Structure 1
Amino acid sequence: MYTKLTSCLLLILILSSCKNENKKEDADTWRTKKSAVENATHNQLLQVEKEEGWKLLFDGETLSGWHLYNDPDATSVWEVVDGELHSNANDESLTAGDLVTNDAYENYELTLEWKIAGNGNSGIFINVQELPDVPTAWQSGPEYQILGADHMDYDIPEKRPGSLYVFLPQQNKVEVEQGGWNKTRIKQENGKIEFYLNGVLTAEKDFSSPEWKEEITGTHFSKYPEFGKTTEGKIALQYWYFETWFRNIKIREL
């Protein structure tokens, strides 16, 4: 009798323990899946971001808020594919060119994620002046460099990703995630800019300083009278004959 009762109690304890373990496992699995789903949701703002004044510059579905530089009605190389802003380098029937915001910005913080073909070349232009007599965005807007790790210029200091193209090497060395997503942050306030790549500060410059104007004269940009002239303008994504992808483009005016 004692042995039978003991066996029954042991069986109950084992079943109860298994049930609790299953509950714990289910709870852990639920939390993991929930986190994974949340982390995989792109092109959306968290409530805290909304409270801080962030706005989406790309809704993940359309090109609303953007147009081809100096050619807003063109059927361009830029498209939305699976929630990503993609430059289609494979269809030569499409109009090539840089994608530019409809609005201009002065004091702001911009964040986005990008990835690029291995030998690809692209960039983010800021303070762009979209004018009929200025044929490309780079002739007015300084560039945050985007470059694939297989590109021949990757190891040139002033052309490395995250640098202020031509003017400054990476302030702190950082590598790109080749084939994966990289994070960019650009801050401009009262003409002073900060560039970040994957959380690392890569460039600082004061566009309102006399030194900046002198530096321009020592480069090929001196041939373009609108280049680097202002601390306010549009933001442009460069198309340079390689596939590039962007997502989670957000801006907060300061």
Structure 2
Amino acid sequence: MKNNAVLKIVALVVAFFIFLYLIITNFYTEATSPTENTLSAQEKQDGWVLLFDGETTNGWHMFSKPNMKHAWKAVNGELTTSTNDTSGTHGDIVTDGLYENFELVFDWKIAREGNSGVFINVQDDTSYIATWATGPEYQLLDNPNMQPGYLDGGKKGAGALYGLVPLKTRVEPNPAGEWNNSRIMQVNGKINFWLNGVMTCEEQIGSERWMGLVANSKAAVFPDFSKSTKGHIGLQDWAKGVSFRNIKIRII
């Protein structure tokens, strides 16, 4: 009887330590498993490709100056730049590759009073003054802390097709320092923007309506603005600081 009691106690102790081991192992695995800047097996099968590996700035270069050391860095799994960083030249960076019909998704967070953007169809050429001289912009902004009037009726708010048209559906970004999720799709010149799951833009590049929007905007002074529906994707280094992660694209 005593032997049976001892065996039961031993079995319970062993079971307890096995249970404790499984809990600790599972916790450690969840805590250390890379969940950011990775692709699932299904995403790979669907044709998604990472534009940021989480560790380097490979695949990106300074607009019109591919050999210049820029101020963008990979830090803690984020592609980031800050006005306080003086270790490189500040400016917009663009993808090494060109894209035409695609779906692009990315997470972003912005500093307080921050102002940035993502450009599409950028022509990476020294004859152009900047990314925004040729490529339409998906606006990234700390809406609540902008000066009065800056949002321009929604044309310059986060998720907007910058300076051209107000948001299709009103939506506010998460506060400065918190992550947002955005999506851009372009198919045969038709562009759609989403911010945190809400569609904010739906326009056709080259249409009569589009030409009117451009003509009544500051972009009208740039003769090649949006003339191409194929180009580089650009990230804007404009004010305060901005960070990106999970930047992925698939060709449509």
State the TM-score, normalized to the length of structure 1: 0.86
**Residue 74 (structure 1) aligned with residue 95 (structure 2):** no
Q: CA deviation at 1:133?
A: 1.2
Query: 2:191 is paired with a residue of what secondary structure?
Result: strand
**Residue-by-residue CA offset, 1:72-131 (whole Å, 9 max, x unaligned):** 111211111122111131134631210101111000000111111010000001011112
Aligned to 1:170: 167
How many residues align structurally?
247
Aligned to 2:209: 211
* Alpha-carbon distance change, 15 to 204 in structure 1, aligned in 2, over 3 angstroms: farther
Q: Which runs of 5+ in 2 are unaligned?
A: none
Between the aligned partners of 1:35 and 1:189, the Cα distance in structure 2 is: 38
Q: CA deviation at 1:151?
A: 2.3
Q: CA deviation at 1:218?
A: 1.2
Aligned to 2:82: 88
Q: CA deviation at 1:185?
A: 0.7
Aligned to 2:239: 241
**Residue 111 (structure 1) aligned with residue 105 (structure 2):** yes
Contact 2:165 2:213 in 1 (8 A): no
Aligned to 2:146: 151
Between the aligned partners of 1:240 and 1:121, the Cα distance in structure 2 is: 6
Between the aligned partners of 1:28 and 1:156, the Cα distance in structure 2 is: 52
Moved more, 154-163 or 121-130: 154-163
Letter in 2 for 1:169: P
**Residue-by-residue CA offset, 1:17-63 (whole Å, 9 max, x unaligned):** 9998987787677656645544x521111111100000010111111
**Residue 62 (structure 1) aligned with residue 60 (structure 2):** no
Moved more, 166-175 or 17-26: 17-26
Between the aligned partners of 1:89 and 1:120, the Cα distance in structure 2 is: 10
Between the aligned partners of 2:94 and 2:31, the Cα distance in structure 1 is: 32
Q: CA deviation at 1:173?
A: 2.1
Query: 2:166 is paired with a residue of what secondary structure?
Result: coil
Aligned to 1:187: 185
Between the aligned partners of 1:138 and 1:176, the Cα distance in structure 2 is: 22
State the TM-score, normalized to the length of structure 2: 0.86
CA RMSD of aligned residues (A): 2.5
* Alpha-carbon distance change, 25 to 190 in structure 1, aligned in 2, over 3 angstroms: farther
Q: Percent identical across equivalent pairs?
A: 41
Contact 2:163 2:218 in 1 (8 A): no
Q: CA deviation at 1:214?
A: 2.1
* Alpha-carbon distance change, 96 to 31 in structure 1, aligned in 2, over 3 angstroms: same
Q: CA deviation at 1:137?
A: 0.1
Q: Which runs of 5+ in 1 are unaligned?
A: none
Letter in 2 for 1:181: W
**Residue 230 (structure 1) aligned with residue 225 (structure 2):** no
Larger-gyration structure (1/2):
1
* Alpha-carbon distance change, 104 to 20 in structure 1, aligned in 2, over 3 angstroms: same
Letter in 2 for 1:162: G
Between the aligned partners of 1:198 and 1:151, the Cα distance in structure 2 is: 20
